Amino acid sequence: MKKFLRYFIPIVLICVATGATWRYFHTDHESEVVIDESEPEAEDDDMVETKAPPPTKTSPRAAKIIAVPTAQKEKTGVHIEMEATKLGVGLGRLSIDFVYDDDTFEIDLFARASGVLAIFLSDRMEFKSVGKFADGKMQTVYFSDSAVKPGKKPKTKIKTYTLGAGGWRHTLNDEEREIDMKMFDQAAADPLALLFYIARVLDRGGKCDIRENSFLDKTGFSLTSADKGKTGDSGIKSGKKKIVENRCDLVFRNRAGKTDKGFLFEHEFKKGAPQNAVTVYYSKMTGDKFVPVFLKLRGTPVGEIRIKLTKFKTIK
């Protein structure tokens, strides 16, 4: 189960959180998204380097991430909060900040279990993706996967992947680790960046049909996204109006590195397992660009899980 949460309550998932008050509700009911239109806090436009604080009980980021030239650039983005449920029972909560300018992007995802699941899994998880836009793609240059186990003696685990002049470098708690470099072949983006790259593809052409290579942990995989058209499956309402989404079905396949037999790749090893393990629904909400608003995760250890948008805010 921890592996599942690291995969999508993360990404991608989204699989899978902070700052929201979560409530019990049945996923078949319509829900209204809170759209925050308050003024954002002022930011320092002169920053020329993206940094993160040293590891603490609440922030397991690396001390320094990567230099990203953002001076004099107009930054914008979105803040998204979502909750994961199974038959109306809360399983997890997450928040995502996606901030970008003309050349670079930064994505932060915070997630943790809630409800009954929190009894068995108390870890707080954080995923960070930093990169650049190149030839219409999103190229990751830094990706981190962090977890903090709270308690009297908190334990922090930080995995990082950094692209430099000598190629990719993988560390675990700042210790260099060997990894199969084939998993990075033709792999431009990590899963978190791919989640928003699909949205950019929708912005450009109105369809999300793509095939891309990616990486996570020690596994290199291919992701195929198939456009399924417009729908209103989420039941999300903005004000009194029900939003319209574009549905994208995702299929994951092992490609390089360590072969994974988890739920994302179960169809390769188990007859009858769903190939489209993840469906992501995108909507423009109040802006002119698509953002993920609803996910369905099939074939997980507890069956289908739904992750739905509860709060949306633009960042300027």
Residue type at 234?
S
Mean pLDDT, residues 225-252: 91
pLDDT at 192: 95
Q: Position of tokens 């909060």?
A: 81
The candidate with the shortest Cα–Cα distance to 27, out of 299, 305, 312, is 305
Is residue 41 scored above 80 in pLDDT? Answer: no
Percentage of the chain lying above the pLDDT 90 cut: 51
Is residue 223 scored above 50 in pLDDT? Answer: yes
Is residue 36 scored above 80 in pLDDT? Answer: no
Tally the C-alpha atoms within 13 A of residue 282's C-alpha that lie toward its C-beta. Answer: 27
Percentage of the chain lying above the pLDDT 70 cut: 77
Could you give the CA distance from residue 251 to residue 198 in angstroms, rounded to a whole number? 13
pLDDT at 19: 23
Band of pLDDT at residue 43, cut at 50, 70 and 90: very low
Mean pLDDT, residues 72-93: 87
Averaged confidence pLDDT in the chain: 79
pLDDT at 117: 73
Q: Which of 138-147, 236-245, 290-299, 303-312 shows the lowest per-residue confidence on average (mean pLDDT)?
A: 236-245
Q: Say if CB 311 and CB 88 are below 8 A apart.
A: no
Q: Which two tokens stand for residue 126?
A: 């954080």
C-alpha 212: how far from chain center: 16
Could you tell me which residue, 32 or 62, shows the higher pLDDT? Answer: 32
Could you tell me which residue, 188 or 159, shows the higher pLDDT? Answer: 159
The candidate with the shortest Cα–Cα distance to 71, out of 90, 94, 44, is 44
pTM: predicted TM-score of the whole model, two decimal places:
0.79
pLDDT at 54: 37
List C-alpha distances in Å: 269 to 3, 84, 228: 18, 27, 26
Could you tell me which residue, 213 or 123, shows the higher pLDDT? Answer: 213
Could you tell me which residue, 225 or 10, shows the higher pLDDT? Answer: 225
Chain segment 123-170, per-residue pLDDT in tens: 889 999 999 999 889 999 999 999 988 878 888 899 999 999 889 999
Residue type at 24?
Y
The candidate with the shortest Cα–Cα distance to 48, out of 26, 27, 21, 72, is 72
The burial of 48, by beta-carbon neighbours within 10 Å (0-12 exposed, 13-18 middle, 19 or more buried), is given as exposed
* H or E, element range at 255: strand 245-257
Domain, as residue range, for 254: 2-315
Q: Say if CB 195 and CB 13 are below 8 A apart.
A: yes
Query: How many domains are contained in the chain?
Result: 1
- Length reported for the chain: 316
Could you give the CA distance from residue 14 to residue 297 in angstroms, rounded to a whole number? 10
Is residue 79 scored above 90 in pLDDT? Answer: yes
